[in-house]
Amino acid sequence: MDSKEFKIRRATMVDILALQKMAKATFYESFIDITPEADMQEYLEAAFSTEALLAELQDQDSIFYFIENVVQLMGYGKINFNKVPYGFSEMPNSMEIQRIYIKKEFQQCGAAGKLMHVFFEEARKRKLHNIWLSTGSLNNKALSFYSKYGFETIGHHEFPVGGEMFDDLILLLNKSQ
């Protein structure tokens, strides 16, 4: 199957082990070059434990999606509702894009863009105009990707991974314009 031929489906409770494996693998791939191994392992065990992911899957204000081809999972994404960006007291009509992770071997084939369109459609159905996310301030690849969709920086916060602190930018896209 061509790498551009893929489908997106909502992840459910029965997907917990696949989600856990994908979440750990893609986070590790994305950040091991800038994160000490001990800090990375501490973060992976806490953030992607079975208990943590089950709680996230059960959260009525969150949706996980898998993107896959007929052979394997290529990546995943997660959106949240009724959450406010770090340092903000409110943000009406908003949706957070919390995660978009695509395995390195499938990057540059349009998978992340397909997830973005699914996320935008979910926001449209719910009449949510403010779409926000946070990403590493030094993650030029992600910043370039998000800027193509019109996201703009509105703030920043620190993101802990083990004993390391990373500067994340908070980006916003207003779809009401």
Task: Classify residue 90 by burial, with Cβ atoms within 10 Å: 0-12, 13-18, 19+.
Answer: exposed
Q: Is residue 155 part of a domain?
A: no
Per the prediction, the chain carries an average pLDDT of: 94
Q: Is residue 146 part of a domain?
A: no
The Cα angle at residue 75 between residues 69 and 79, in degrees rounded to 5: 120
Per-residue pLDDT at 86: 87
Q: Is residue 20 part of a domain?
A: yes
Domain boundaries, position 53:
7-82+89-131
Number of domains making up the chain:
1
Q: Is residue 157 part of a domain?
A: no
Per-residue pLDDT at 163: 86
CA distances from 149 to 89, 116, 124, 144 (A): 25, 9, 15, 9
Mean pLDDT of 44-50: 97
Contact between 63 and 128 (Cβ < 8 Å)? no
Tell me the CATH number at 114: 3.40.630.30
Q: Is residue 158 part of a domain?
A: no
Per-residue pLDDT at 177: 58
Q: Is residue 62 part of a domain?
A: yes
Q: Residue 2 pLDDT > 60, yes or no?
A: no
Q: Reduced to 3 states, what is the DSSP secondary structure of residue 109? A: coil
Instruction: Give the best-scoring range by mean pLDDT among 84-88, 90-94, 116-120.
Output: 116-120
What is the pTM assigned to this prediction?
Answer: 0.92
Q: Which of 43, 76, 146, 149 is catalytic?
A: 146
Q: Reduced to 3 states, what is the DSSP secondary structure of residue 155? A: strand
Q: Residue 72 pLDDT > 50, yes or no?
A: yes
Q: How many angstroms from the chain centroid is the CA of residue 138?
A: 17
Q: Residue 133 pLDDT > 80, yes or no?
A: yes
146 is catalytic: yes
Per the model's pLDDT, the better-predicted residue between 5 and 135 turns out to be 135
Q: Is residue 172 part of a domain?
A: no
Q: Residue 3 pLDDT > 70, yes or no?
A: no
Q: Reduced to 3 states, what is the DSSP secondary structure of residue 5? A: coil
Residues 6+ apart with CB under 8 A from 106: 3, 74, 75
Q: Is residue 112 part of a domain?
A: yes
